[in-house]
Amino acid sequence: MIAHGLLKDWIPDDLEGPELQRMMGRDWPRYRAMRHRPVRERFAASRLLLKHVAAKAIHAPPHTVELAYQAGGRPFLRGCDQIGISLTHTEQLLMVGITRRGWIGVDAELADRPMLVSGIERQVCTPYERMALACVDEEHRNKEMVRLWTLKEAYSKAIGQGMRFRFNEFGFGPSGRPVQVLMPDGSPGTGREWSFGTCQVEGRYTTSWALFDAGFGDTQDTAAETMLDEGLVSALTSEPEEPGQPAPAEGRAA
C-alpha cells in the first residue's frame, strides 16, 4: 500500500504538547533536538502520517506504533519484521509505502524539477540510460530524467542502500516499457521478484515505488497481537516511561 498526504494537513497544532510527545514516542528526544521550526514540522508530520498508515496495517492505535532505524537510517516497525515500510517527502508532499511481502522503497520529486541543466545525467545515469535519454524529445527529456531519478531512489531505498549505491551502476529502461533494473549496458539486472511503478500525484509530483517480493506469500494476518509474542506486544503497546536516546541520522532514507 502507498499513501500520501500534504505537509500542511499533518503538521500538529501543538508542536510541544503532551499529545505529540505521546505520538512521537522514542523519536521525541530527536525531535526536540531539532532547532529549526520547518525541520521539526516536517519531521513530526512525516512520522504522524507513517504511524497512522502503519497502525491500519497492524490493527493497533497509532500512538503504540514504535519506529526504529537501521544503521543507514532506514525506518522499520519495532517488533514487526513482517512489515516493510518506506518514507519520503519533498516540498509539500509526504509519502509512505508499506508492504507485508518483503521490501519497499518510495520516492517523490517535483515533476518539473530542473535536473538536466546541471548535467547530472553524466554522474547518475548508465551509458544505456544516457543513450536512451538522447533519443527523447528535448521538451520531454527532463521529465524522463525525473522519472529515472525517482526509480533509482526508490530501488536504493528498498535495498537499504540509499545514496551509498552509485546510481550509474544500475539503471532503468525508457518510458513505455516494462520496468526492471538494468545493468549499465542495458541487460537485465533483476528478475520477476521485483516490481516498479511511477505515477503523478497532486498534479505536480512524480512518484515511484520499488517492491521486492520475498516469496513469503501475502500474509493476511498482520495484527500486532498475533504477529508478536504476548510479552513483546505488552512492551510495545505500553506507554514509554522515559523517552529513549535519539535514533541514528536517517540520511536519504526518509
User: Are 156 and 78 part of one and the same domain?
Assistant: no
User: Are 79 and 113 part of one and the same domain?
Assistant: no
With cell 506504533, the residue in question is 65
pLDDT of 165: 75
Q: Is residue 252 part of a domain?
A: no
User: Are 118 and 204 part of one and the same domain?
Assistant: yes
Residue 229 has pLDDT above 50, yes or no: no
User: Are 120 and 44 part of one and the same domain?
Assistant: no
Average pLDDT over residues 152-167: 85
pLDDT tens for each residue of 54-83: 999 999 999 999 999 987 788 899 988 789
For the record, the C-alpha cell of 253 comes out as 532514507
User: Are 127 and 209 part of one and the same domain?
Assistant: yes
Q: Is residue 74 part of a domain?
A: yes
Residue 235 has pLDDT above 80, yes or no: no
Residue 135 has pLDDT above 60, yes or no: yes
150: containing domain: 107-213
Q: Is residue 27 part of a domain?
A: yes
58 Cβ contact partners less than 8 Å away, ≥ 6 residues apart: 65, 77, 80, 83, 222, 223, 224, 227
Q: Residue 252 — very low, low, confident or very high, per pLDDT cuts 50/70/90?
A: very low
Q: Is residue 166 part of a domain?
A: yes
Q: Is residue 186 part of a domain?
A: yes
Q: Is residue 225 part of a domain?
A: no
User: Are 192 and 112 part of one and the same domain?
Assistant: yes
For the record, the C-alpha cell of 222 comes out as 498482520
User: Are 71 and 115 part of one and the same domain?
Assistant: no
Average pLDDT over residues 213-217: 78
Average pLDDT over residues 91-98: 97
Average pLDDT over residues 177-200: 95
How many separate domains does the chain show? Answer: 2
Average pLDDT over residues 24-52: 97
Is 207:4 a contact under the CB 8 Å cutoff?
yes
Q: Is residue 69 part of a domain?
A: yes
Q: Is residue 92 part of a domain?
A: no
pLDDT of 82: 84
How wide is the angle at C-alpha 117 spanned by C-alphas 115 and 121, nearest 5°?
60
Give the domain CATH number at 192. Answer: 3.90.470.20
User: Are 111 and 38 part of one and the same domain?
Assistant: no
